Chains A and B, each alone.
Chain A
Amino acid sequence: MKLTAGIAALLVFFAVGEVGGQPVNTNTFVLLPVKNDPTISFRIWFKVGSQNDPVGKEGLAYVTGQMLSDASTQTLPYAQIIDKLYPLAAGYSASVSVEMTILSGRVHKDNLEAFYPLFRDAILLPAFTQEDLDRIKSQTINYLENTLRYSSDEELGKAVLYNDVCAGSRYGHTVSGTAAAVKSIALDDVRAFYVTHFTRDNVVPGLGGGYGDALVTRLAADLGSLPSGAPVQVPLSAPVPLNGFCVTIVDKDAPATAISMGFPIRALRGEREWYALAIANSWLGEHRNSSSHLYQVIREARGLNYGDYSYIENYPQGGMRHVPPQNVSRRVQLFEIWIRPVPLENGFFALRAALRELKSLVDNGLSEEQFQQTRAFLKKYVMHYAASTMERLGYALDDRFYGIEGSHLERFRTMMDEISRDEVNAAIRTHLQFGRMQIAIVSKIGAAFRDALLAGTPSPISYKTPKPEDVLTADKEIAVFPVRVKEENVRVVPVTEVLAR
C-alpha cells in the first residue's frame, strides 16, 4: 500500500509541476464567524462538477470527489485516516453536484489540531491508489445498476427526467455517471481531472463557526500549494426546447407508478422575478408540506399517494429532507412536479390531475388570498432553511455562486414584503407554461400507459369509500383532461437500459 501511494505521489507531483505557491487570497474566502459556536465548519468549494465530466467518462467528477474524501492520502492509508478521525467524532466528505464540488468537514474546537492535517492532506495530497479506486467504482456502479434502478422508483424517475430535459448538454447525465462510463474510469483519468480542476485558482474556501484568524491564514497558505490553473469554463448550453409533451416510460416490475415532470426555466435565485416565482411555486407545491396545493388535491382529498410537490430549483434526495439542500447550484434550473408513487390503476389520473392544476395556475395566476397567505408563510418558513452554522455557510457559498450581494435568505424575507401579486402572476406567465413538458413515468404497465396517453383514453377513478361531491365533480373533468402526446414523443425503456451508457 505504501509503495503504491508513493508512486501515486510522484505522478501527481510530476503532473502538477509546481507546489508551494502563493497563499490563496483570503479576500476570496467565504467567512461566517460564530463566536459562541464550539465547532468549526469547513466547506471548500471547487468550481467543478459533473458538467466537467469528459465525454465517455461520465461520473469522473463524482469519483474524483470520493477519491479525495474516502481514500488514502500520501501521508496515510485510508484505514489509518479512519482510525485517527474516529475518536474526534469528526469527518469530512465530498459532495459533487452538476457545477459544484464541496469538501466539507466539521470538528469540535477541542479537536481542530488533530483534524486539520487530515482534512488538508485529503485535499492537497491524495494518494490515488488503485485499491481505493476499485472500491469507489464498485460502490458507484452498485448505486447506478442496482440501487437507483430498483430500490426507489421516485429517485429513478427524477434521474430520468433530468437526463431527458438536459440531453445533449453537459448537464445531461446523472452526477454519479453511467454504469459503462464509470467502469472505464482509470487512475490516470482521476489524476488528470484532479490536476485540471482542483487548483488554487478554482477554489473558494468557506469557514464557519468558532474559528480564529490564524486558521484563515493557515488554510490560505495550505491551499496555496494546490497547482495553479484557471477554472475550466463550460459553455452554458440551453436545453433543446421541448416539442409538446415528451414522455419516457421506464418499464419495470414496480408496485406503483412514480411520476416526475418538468421543463427548463430561466429564473435564477437572486433575481427579483425568482422570488415572485417562488411564491407561485410554494402555493402550488411546497416541498413536504400540507400547504402544497398539489398535495391537497392528490393526497389530502383523494388519498392517492404520500405527497405531491413542485420545485423551481434542483432538489436532490427530496424524500430524505424537509428543507432545500445547499451547494447544488446550477445555471439552468427546471420547474419540476413530483408525484409520489400512486396505485397502478391511477397513474394517468394522477398525471392529469397535476397537469390540470398547473394549467389552472398558468391561466389564472394566484388569487389575492392565495398570494397573501403564501408570502406570509414563506417569509417565516425560510428561517428553517439554515438553522446550523454549516447550513448557513452553505448558503453563503451559494450566494457567491449566484453573485448575490448580501444574503439570499435575507433577501428572500425582504422580497416577501416587497413583491406584489401582479409581479407573481407576471412571473408565472413568463416562466411557467402548459403544454411543453418532459414527463418521466416508472411503471410496470409501460406499454398500456403509452397506448392510453396516445389515445387520450379517459382515466376515471373510483373509490372504495365515499368522497365529497366537489371531489367527484372534479374527478369527471380530470378523467378526460386533455394531455395530447404525439407518438414520436413517447418512448418505453426497459429499466435495464436506464443509466447504462
Chain B
Amino acid sequence: MHRCLLFCVALLFAGNVAMSKSIFPYTSWKEVLPNGLTVYLIPMESPGLVAYYSIVRTGSRDEYEPGRSGFAHFFEHMMFRGTKRHPGPVYDSLITGIGASANAYTTDDYTAYHLNFATEDLETVMDLESDRFQNLFYEEREFQTEAGAVYGEYRKSITSPFALLNEKLQDLAYDVHTYKHTTIGFEADIKAMPEAYAYSKSFYQRYYRPENVVILIAGDFHMQGTLTLVRKYYSGWTKGYVTPQIPREPSQKSERKATVTYSGKTLPILDIAYKGEMFDPANRTYVAAILLGDLAFGETSDLYKKLYIQEQKVEFIQASVPMNRDMPLFEIVAMVKHEADLPGIQEEVYKTIAKFQAHPVNAQKLGDMKRRRKYEFLMHLDTPDKVAGGLARFVALTGGIEVVNRFYTTLDRITPDEIQKAAQRYFTPDRRTVVVLKGDRQ
C-alpha cells in the first residue's frame, strides 16, 4: 500500500492558463491497494456534495469473442441487479433513500459507474459499490429480463441515421479488431443475449477485478477518513484480471467505400474516416492530429466557413480525432443539403487535407487552438461530477490521471511543422474508408 501526492500545486485557475505548467487545477491523492485497485481522491469546494466514479477499463473493445458484441454494455445493466447482501430492490431502495443520482455508461474503451450524493452518505455508497463489484449476484431470470431492456435501448437509438452510419462504417473499416462493432453491438448479438447467462459470469470474473478498476472520488469529503474507508471496503477484493485477446488490426492497404440506405428521410451524410493511432501523449504526431482535426475542419477553418457559412452547402461539417486505447478512426463528417453536391464536397475535403500536407499551418491559428483547448478543459471542471467525469477517459486509457498534465504539455508544444506531419502520416488514401448514407424517402 502506498500513497503519493500527485499534483502539488493547485493553480485554481489563477493567471493566464497559457503560462501554467500544470493544467489540472486541483490537488489529488492516489492510493493503490495491494490488490491493484487504484483510488484517486480529489477534494474540491462543493459544499456537501461528492462524485464517485468506478471506472472499469473494459468496454466494447474487449468483446473479442464471436457473437458477444454489446456485452460490456449489457453487463453494465446487470451491475444494478444487486448482491446477496443487497439484492437489486434493496440496492435501489438504499440509493433512493440517500437521494443519490446514480447511473452508468459504457464506451468503446471503458465502463463508468457514477454516483453523486451528500457527503454524509459516503460510507453507505462505498459499502454498496464495493459490494456489487465484488459480490454481484443475479438469477438467470433477471438476466433474461434485463436483456429486454437492452434491446429496448437499441430500438430507441437505431432510428437515428448516425447510429446506422456508425454501425456500417466501423464494420467496413476494420477487418478483425473489436472496434469493428459499436458499443451497443450488432442487433443479432443483442437478440441472443438472453442465452448468455453462463458467459456473463465469466465476463464478471475476468474483467471486474481490482487491477482493472480505478475509483475517482471528487468533492467535499474528509481525506483521511475516506482513505480508511477505501481500505476497509476494497482490500478484500481479489486479483484475477484476464487480459482479453483483442486481435491486432492489419494495416489497411487501400481505400474502402460504401453507400448505406437509411429507412426514412434524411439529408445525405458523408463520412470520411482514416485509421489513426492509439492515444499516446508522448507521440507528438498523434497529439498534433487532434489539433489538426479542428484546424482543418472546425468552425474557424476555411472549409467550414466556405461550406457552412458562405455557400451553405452543408448543415454541418466537423472532424473528430478521438482518444482510444487502440487505433481509432479519425473522421470528417458532413451533412449535405443536396445529393448532387456530395462529390464536390468530398473533393473539397481532400483538397483541404492536401493543403495541410503541403504547408505548415499559420502559427497564430495554432496558438488560438491550444488556448481554446486548455480553457475548455478548465471551464468544464466546475462540479465534482464534471471533474471526475472529465478525467474518466484519461483513466481508462492509461490507468491514472497523471497523463492529463503530460498530454496538455505536449499539446502546448506542438509546432506548425508537426501539424503538417500529422496530415501527411494519417490522412492518406490507403487508410481511408468513405461511407455515404442516404435516406430512402424524399
- 8 Å CB contacts to A: which residues of B77-91? 80, 88
Q: Mark A351-383, 1 if CB is under 8 A from B, else 0.
A: 000000000000000000000010011111111
A429–B383 alpha-carbon span in the complex (Å): 39
**B103 beta carbon closer than 8 Å to chain A:** yes
Inter-chain contact A135/B141, CB cutoff 8 Å:
no
Given contacts A89-B379, A464-B194, contact A138 B13 (CB under 8 A): no
**B123 interface residue (CB < 8 Å to A):** no
Bitwise interface map of B from 287 to 309 toward A, beta carbon under 8 Å scored 1, else 0: 00000000000011000010011
Q: Are A36 and B45 in contact (CB under 8 A)?
A: yes
Distance between Cα atoms of A149 and B101 in the complex (Å): 32
Q: Do A138 and B312 contact each other (CB < 8 Å), given the known contacts A38-B12, A150-B266?
A: yes
Q: How far is the CA of A37 from the CA of B45 in the complex (A)?
A: 10
Q: Does B8 contact A (CB under 8 A)?
A: no
B92 interface residue, CB < 8 Å from A? yes
Would you call B153 and A291 a contact (CB within 8 A)? no
A38 touching B13 in the complex, CB below 8 Å, given contacts A86-B299, A376-B97, A381-B101 = yes
How many B residues face the partner with a CB closer than 8 A? Answer: 75
A5 vs B368: C-alpha distance in the bound complex, in angstroms? 27
Nearest B residue to A110 via CB reads B16
Tell me the minimal C-beta distance from A311 to chain B in angstroms. 17
In the assembled complex, the Cα of A26 lies from the Cα of B242 at a distance in Å of 63
Taking CB atoms, residues of chain A closer than 8 Å to B376 are 89
Other-chain residue from B264, B305, B384, B439 in contact with A79 (beta carbon distance below 8 A): B305
A384–B156 touching, CB < 8 Å = no
Bound-state CA distance A255–B80 (Å) is 27
Among A142, A151, A464, the residue within 8 A (CB) of B315 is A142
Name the B residues within 8 Å of A258 (CB-CB).
Answer: 156
Chain B residues near A138 (CB-CB < 8 A): 312, 315, 337
Interface residue B425 (Cβ < 8 Å from any Cβ of A): no
Within 8 Å by CB of A380, from B99, B299, B371, lies B99
Q: What is the CB-to-nearest-CB distance from B22 to chain A, in angstroms, rounded to a whole number?
A: 16
A255 to B153, CA, bound (A): 12
CA distance A324 to B374 in the complex (A): 29
Cβ of B137 to closest chain A Cβ, rounded Å: 17
Q: Does the CB pair A110–B17 fall under 8 Å? A: yes
Could you say which residues of chain B place their CB within 8 Å of the CB of A147? 266
A142 to B, closest residue via Cβ? B315
Mark interface residues in A74-106 (1 if CB within 8 Å of B CB, else 0). 000011001100111110000000000000001
Tell which of A79, A89, A290, A464 touches B309, judged by Cβ atoms closer than 8 Å: A79
**A302 cross-chain contacts in B, Cβ below 8 A:** 145, 148
- CB closest residue in chain B, given A145: B265
A316 contacts which chain B residues (CB < 8 A)? none
Minimal beta-carbon separation of B61 from chain A (angstroms): 23
- Is B3 on the interface with A (CB-CB < 8 A)? no
B101 and A322 within 8 A (CB):
yes
| CB atoms of A303 and B379 under 8 A apart | no
**Is A467 touching B315 in the complex (CB atoms < 8 A)?**
no
The 0/1 profile, CB within 8 Å of B marked 1, for residues 337-354 of chain A is 000111100000000000
Q: Is B21 an interface residue (CB 8 A)?
A: no
Contact A377 B385 (CB under 8 A): no
B155 within 8 Å of A (CB atoms) = yes
**A242: Cβ under 8 A from any B Cβ:** no
Within 8 A of B (CB), among A177-229: none
Q: Which residues of chain B have C-beta atoms less than 8 A from A38's C-beta? A: 12-14, 378
**For the complex, what is the distance from the CA of A383 to the CA of B46, rounded to whole Å?**
11
The answer to whether B263 and A39 touch across the interface, beta carbons within 8 angstroms, is no
Q: Please, how many angstroms separate the alpha-carbon atoms of A253 and B158 in the complex?
A: 12
Count A interface residues, CB 8 Å. Answer: 75
- Chain A residue numbers with a CB within 8 Å of B368 are 86-87
Q: Is B216 an interface residue (CB 8 A)?
A: no
Task: Identify the interface centre among B88, B312, B367: most chain A CB within 10 Å of its CB.
Answer: B312
**In the complex with contacts A373-B97, A380-B98, A39-B382 CB distance below 8 A:** yes
B88: which A residues are within 8 A, CB to CB? 300
Complex contact A304–B309 (CB within 8 A): no
* Identity of the chain A residue whose Cβ is nearest the Cβ of B263 in the assembled complex: A253
Give Cα A36–Cα B267 distance, bound, in whole angstroms: 46
When C-beta atoms are compared, the residue in chain A nearest to B364 turns out to be: A87
- Which of A39, A301, A384 makes the CB contact (< 8 A) with B101? A384
Given contacts A38-B13, A39-B382, A154-B156, contact A301 B300 (CB under 8 A): no
Cα A106 to Cα B380 in complex, Å, equals 11
Contact indicator A301/B267 (Cβ below 8 Å): no
* A residues 381-424 touching B (CB-CB < 8 Å): 381-384, 387-389
Q: Which A residues lie within 8 Å of B205 (CB)?
A: none
Contact at B382–A146, with CB atoms within 8 Å? no
CB of A431 closer than 8 Å to a CB of B: no
Residue contact A256 to B312, C-beta cutoff 8 Å: no
A396 to B208, CA, bound (A): 43
Q: How far is the CB of B17 from chain A (nearest CB, A)?
A: 7
Please, which residues of chain A bring their CB within 8 A of the CB of B159?
150-153, 254-255
Which residues of B, 363-377, contact A by the 8 Å Cβ criterion? 367-369, 371-376
Residue-wise, chain B 71-114 has the 8 Å CB interface mask toward A (1 for contact) of: 00000000010000000100011011111110100000000000
A86 touches B372 (CB 8 A): yes
Q: What distance in Å separates the Cβ of A418 from its nearest Cβ neighbour in chain B?
A: 17
- Verify if A436 is at the interface (C-beta below 8 Å from B): no
* Contact in complex: B152, A465 (CB < 8 Å): no
Closest to B13 in A: A38
* Distance (whole angstroms) from the CB of B94 to the closest CB of chain A: 11
Q: Which of B97, B99, B144, B264 has the most C-beta atoms of chain A within 10 angstroms of its own C-beta? A: B99
Given contacts A150-B265, A152-B159, contact A323 B101 (CB under 8 A): yes
A87-B371, A151-B264, A465-B144 known, 9 other contacts, Cβ within 8 Å:
A36-B12, A82-B300, A88-B371, A151-B160, A252-B264, A253-B264, A299-B149, A378-B99, A379-B99
27 contacts between A and B (CB under 8 A): A79-B310, A83-B300, A87-B371, A87-B372, A89-B376, A108-B17, A131-B309, A138-B315, A142-B267, A146-B266, A147-B266, A150-B439, A152-B160, A254-B159, A255-B158, A288-B103, A291-B92, A300-B145, A306-B149, A340-B152, A343-B155, A373-B97, A376-B99, A380-B100, A381-B99, A464-B194, A466-B141
A-B interface, 8 closest residue pairs, ranked by CB to CB distance from nearest: A380-B99, A303-B148, A89-B375, A38-B13, A465-B144, A150-B264, A305-B152, A87-B368
